[in-house]
Amino acid sequence: SNKEDQENILKELYNHTVKISSGGSAANTIHGVSVLGGRSYYLGRVANDFYGRHYSEDMKSCGVGFPGTGDAPSTTGTCLVLVSPDGERTMLTHLGISSSLGPSNIDETIIRNARMTYIEGYLWTGEETRAAALKLAEIAKKNKLPVAFTLSDAFVVNSFKKPITDFIRSNVDILFCNDVEAMAMADTDNLQEAFKALKG
């Protein structure tokens, strides 16, 4: 979806309950590390707009290190989540500036001082974002830090299986995935077979 679609839907929902929450797959994980008492830093991009400032403040208040809003002329990525009364979700995502996370946004000092890096599979959907992930892994390996990786989504696996497989073989120490992603990765509908293949 795009920003206009989101805004039009929000106008239609003016008399419904609306809640703004910071999020994102890896960001939620990093926030969880902080809640559990760990020290964490999130490498991501937001714009200097309402949502970007809200996001930066949220990160600060929950103790997660974050680069801040920057001054690039763009909008912060947003995901409009519509929840039906029975709990079903429909998500309309506009990536905004997050899709232009690139190698130049990767701060080597932060990685060198870490004990582990965590990379999400969603980064494989863009050339710049994938290059950022590869640089992150390269710096981590150079500094003998373990690399954790999440497959993120079966769509990501099915679309980028070869480069993701190569990345896992060369760089990944800890792999996170759910049943669906594991079976997509191993080209099977048998879960035990999938995990046997992944262990290999």
Residue 1 confidence (pLDDT): 62
Query: For 83-99, how does the pLDDT look when each residue is reduced to its tens digit (9 = 90+)?
Result: 999 999 999 999 999 99
Residue 4 confidence (pLDDT): 87
Residue 132 confidence (pLDDT): 97
Confidence of residue 2 (pLDDT cuts 50, 70, 90): confident
Residue 124 confidence (pLDDT): 97
H/E stretch holding 174 reads: strand 174-176
| Nearest residue to 44 via CA among 103, 111, 116, 101 | 101
Query: For 152-192, how does the pLDDT look when each residue is reduced to its tens digit (9 = 90+)?
Result: 999 999 999 999 999 999 999 999 999 999 999 999 999 99
Q: Which tokens go with 29?
A: 């994980």
Query: For 9-57, how does the pLDDT look when each residue is reduced to its tens digit (9 = 90+)?
Result: 988 888 888 889 999 989 999 999 999 999 999 999 999 999 999 999 9
Q: Which residues contact 52 (CB under 8 A, 6 or more apart)?
A: 46, 69, 76, 97
